[in-house]
Amino acid sequence: MWRNVLSLVVEALLVPRVLCAYDYVIVGGGNGGLVVASRLSEDPTVEVLVLEVGPEVENIPEVYIPGLAGGGDIFESLNWAYQTTPQTNLNNRTLVVKAGRALGGSTIINSMIMTRATKAQYDAIGTLSNSTLWAWDAILPYFQRSEIFTPPNEDQIENGASYNGSVHGPSSPPDPDIGAVKVGFPNFFYPQSEMFARALMNGQDGMGFRRALDLADGEIRRRVGIASNSLDASNNVRCSAVCGYVTPFEKQRRNLHIITRATVSRVEWDDRKRDGLLVARRVQYYVHGDSVPRYADVNVGRGGEVIIAAGTLGSPKVMELSGVGNATLLRGLGIDVKLDLPTVGENLADHVRSWANAVSNASVTRDILRLNDTFRQEQLNLWCKSRSGLYSAAPRTLGLAATSDLVSEDRISVLVRNARRDLDKYASEYANGNGALQQGIKAQHEITLDFYDQDQQLPIELNVEPGYGGPTGPDGLGDNKFTTISAILYSPLSRGRSHITSTNAAARPAVDPAYWSHPLDVAMLVGGLQAARKVLRTPPLNSIFIKEFEPGAGVGESDEKVQAYLRGAAASDNHEVGTMSMMPESLGGVVDTELKVYGIDNVRVADASIIPMPLSAHLAATVYMIGEKAAESIKDEKRRRNAATLLYQMNQGS
């Protein structure tokens, strides 16, 4: 009998593979998508295809030199720059939500900060999704698997870098042929970073924070420290999802196929359902410049799947174009409805950014790179020759403020009491008439309000930029040098939505994060910006403070004035989540805890869109973890299926 089974298995392996069909088709080659592609293609018997709109850009200096991150024309051309609808609570302004448009997705243009949220927040997502498999203890191994961590060297430690080795990945790859993102510390530290940390720790005039051992260890309340970066510390270059998960073995992986400049227009479905579930049969896409579509077939008979990883604003769009979403909305656009799943694209949340900056007399700031061409060239040469100087810096020292750092105890208790009173009102408004999602948003708000009550919420990140950061163009800055402190709202209760408005796959969707539609969000960001203004004047940072530039003396001191200023100035922090949320169906979720879309047999989602509610962290590290979890779920399902097939064959044979 065993011999029979074995020969069956061997035969199966020898069947020639159909080259135009793939076991896994991945829509979007970004932060989440490339992890899944990389992990699945470790198995040489499966064919994996990645379809990505943008080009491959690893060899562009603005991408790989840490000090050039966030600048230059590159950040226009490799950026979706989604426009929001006029934001009612922000003076009807149209804001820009950035997202990477290249192989590597947002990890190509992001600021390389690798932080994680609190243990309690991940545990809450586990509770919300009704699965202990998404609590901190369960996801930590996936965070670790996703990185190759280079501990700080003596010089970096001298400059304030520290870490807890037991929350990180290994320092060298367990196997050179498998992927993981390289994480480490930069080579240059501006003195302002340590001055900022000391100002936050200052117990007399400041907020009395403690120094963080590691901003990725889940214990970050009222801590300040140097964030590790997604960079290859051995060469001081950015490590994107491409660098981490594709480049190391690109040549050997003949079963990993990547097509760039390919826009996915829709997923097409089998005529017959399987156990009542829709079955994805092929993916339609357009190669840049073509007017006729191409198709990638999914090897359905072998358990083939489609993995949607087009980002929080790209993924609901692809589903809606495929006939999966709010039936009323789809019919209105003339789309053939395949599955009425009205919460696709709903539950959108985003972090909100604000900043206080001061004209500074610090001896070195990033402004000098803008002001002095000779200096800039010198610094670039320094980077090229020895990976040192200003361009080897990735300056983000940051601290996480608790509610009690921002508003008085009396004020917060009134705000939270009112928010509890109005739970149904906001949940109903945000859920757009969907009863299940109303319960889901209510559950999210209850979790958030409990954190507020216990003073365990981290509503604001404060971070320092040793130079100008803000909305004013170079012409408005004169030859001044600056210190900037950003205050970012991390725990918004506001929820909005993103939906397509046309059947054209090249068109961007409507994006409405409904910024500041909840009074707690307003209070926290106002408190955050006031804190940022104060930190600029706190010893030792006050020693380089000349005068406040923005918001500026004209805005005045009062919370009311700051609130009015922010309505005209606040921006997106590009951390959008929630549109394909991982929650039970009864709470209006779109995917289950194995990241499968409800009502569909073989489509999963693996990007930031599944994060059901905002986290107090920059998101890239979490999205790498999500990619690892998604790949593991897919492999698990394959193992289960193979075991079942084997059992069936054994029964037949005996």
Query: In angstroms, rounded to a whole number, what is the distance separating the alpha carbons of residues 323 and 333?
Result: 10
The Cα 533–Cα 229 span in angstroms is 26
DSSP string, 58-119: TT-HHHH-GGGTT-STHHHHTB--EEBPPBTTTTTBPPEE--B-STTGGGGTS--B-----H
Looking at 59, 166, 291, 651, which residue binds ligand NAG (CB under 6 A)? Answer: 166
304 binds, among ligand NAG, ligand FAD, none (CB under 5 to 8 A by kind): none
Nearer to ligand FAD, 509 or 588 (CB): 509
Task: Report the nearest approach of ligand NAG to the CB of residue 455 (Å).
Answer: 21
DSSP states of 588-638: T-SB-TT-BBTTBSSEEE-SGGG--S--SS-SHHHHHHHHHHHHHHHHHHH
In 10 A of CB 333, how many CB atoms?
Answer: 14
Residues 599-628 that bind ligand FAD (CB under 6 A): 607-608, 618-621, 623
Q: Are 150 and 171 in contact (CB under 8 A)?
A: yes
Residue with tokens 């979706």: 80
Interacting partner of 101 out of ligand FAD, ligand NAG, none (Cβ under 5 to 8 A depending on kind):
ligand FAD
Site for ligand FAD in 121-150 (CB under 6 A): none
Judged by CB under 6 A, does residue 41 bind ligand NAG? no
Q: Around 225, how many Cα atoms within 13 Å sit in the side-chain half-sphere?
A: 26
Among 23, 123, 305, 346, binds ligand NAG (CB under 6 A): 346
Q: State how far the Cα of 200 lies from the Cα of 209, in Å rounded to an integer.
A: 6
x/- track of binding to ligand FAD for residues 284-313 (CB under 6 A): -------------------------xxxx-
Cβ distance to ligand FAD smaller for residue 128 or 309: 309
Smallest distance from the beta carbon of 12 to ligand FAD, in angstroms? 32
Q: Cα dihedral sign for 573, 574, 578, 579?
A: positive
Footprint (CB under 6 A) of ligand NAG, residues 201-220: 213, 217
Q: Residue 637 contacts by C-beta under 8 Å, 6 or more apart in sequence?
A: 303, 594
Q: What are the residue ranges of helices labelled H in 159-249?
A: 191-201, 241-245
Q: Is 445 a catalytic residue?
A: no
Nearer to ligand NAG, 235 or 586 (CB): 586
106 to each of 80, 239, 618, 643, how far by Cα in Å? Answer: 10, 12, 12, 38
153, 235, 413, 586: which one binds ligand NAG (CB under 6 A): 586
Rounded to whole angstroms, the maximal C-alpha distance in the chain is: 87
The reply on whether position 432 binds ligand NAG by CB under 6 A is yes
Of the two residues 262 and 522, which places its CB atom closer to ligand NAG in the complex?
522
Out of 85, 127, 130, 503, name the contact with ligand NAG by CB under 6 A.
130
Residue ranges in 518-547 that form contacts with ligand NAG under rule CB under 6 A: 543-546
Closer Cβ to ligand NAG, 239 or 597, answer by number:
597
Q: What is the 8-class DSSP label of residue 553?
A: G
Q: What residue type is 472 in one-letter code?
A: T
Q: Does 126 bind ligand NAG (CB under 6 A)?
A: no
DSSP state of 228: P
Task: Name the one range near ligand FAD by CB under 6 A: 11-19, 51-59, 437-445, 596-604.
Answer: 51-59
Strands 305-308 and 324-325, sheet pairing: unpaired
Q: Is 575 a catalytic residue?
A: yes
Q: What's the min distance (Å) between Cβ of 417 and ligand FAD?
A: 33
DSSP code per residue over 351-377: -EEEEEEEEE--S--THHHHH-HHHHH
In which residue are the tokens 């779920």 written?
633
Which residues inside 216-255 make contact with ligand FAD, applying CB under 6 A?
none
- The answer to whether 416 is a known ligand-binding residue is no
Task: Please report how close the Cβ of residue 644 comes to ligand FAD at its closest, in angstroms.
Answer: 32
The partner in contact with residue 54, picked from ligand NAG, ligand FAD, none with C-beta cut-offs of 5 to 8 angstroms by kind, is ligand FAD
Site for ligand FAD in 54-113 (CB under 6 A): 54, 98-101, 105-107, 109-113
Measure the CA–CA gap between 51 and 421, rounded to whole angstroms.
47
Q: 285-293: long-range contacts (C-beta < 8 A, 24 or more apart)?
A: 285/51, 285/259, 286/262, 286/505, 287/259, 287/261, 287/262, 288/261, 288/262, 288/263, 289/261, 293/265
Binding residue for ligand NAG, selected from 45, 83, 153, 164, defined by CB under 6 A: 164
Cis upstream peptide for 551 (omega within 30°): yes
Segment contacting ligand NAG by CB under 6 A, of 426-434, 515-523, 568-576, 615-623: 426-434
Measured from the CB atom, the residue of 56 and 455 that comes closer to ligand FAD is 56
Find the part of the chain contacting ligand NAG (CB under 6 A) among 195-203, 326-334, 395-403, 569-577.
Answer: 326-334
Handedness of CA 260, 266, 272, 275 (dihedral sign): positive
Task: Work out what residue 217 binds among ligand NAG, ligand FAD, none; the CB cut-off runs from 5 to 8 Å by kind.
Answer: ligand NAG
Where in 528-573 does DSSP place strands (E)? Answer: 545-550, 571-572
**Angle 260-595-131 (CA atoms, 0-180°, nearest 5)?**
150
| Minimum CB distance to ligand FAD, residue 306 (Å) | 12
Interface residues with ligand FAD (CB under 6 A) are: 27-32, 51-54, 98-101, 105-107, 109-113, 263-264, 309-312, 314, 318, 574-575, 607-608, 618-621, 623
Annotated binding site for FAD, which residues?
264
Residues that bind ligand NAG (CB under 6 A): 88, 91-92, 130, 164, 166-167, 213, 217, 326, 328-329, 342, 346, 361, 372, 374-375, 378, 432-434, 543-546, 584, 586
| Catalytically annotated residues | 575, 618
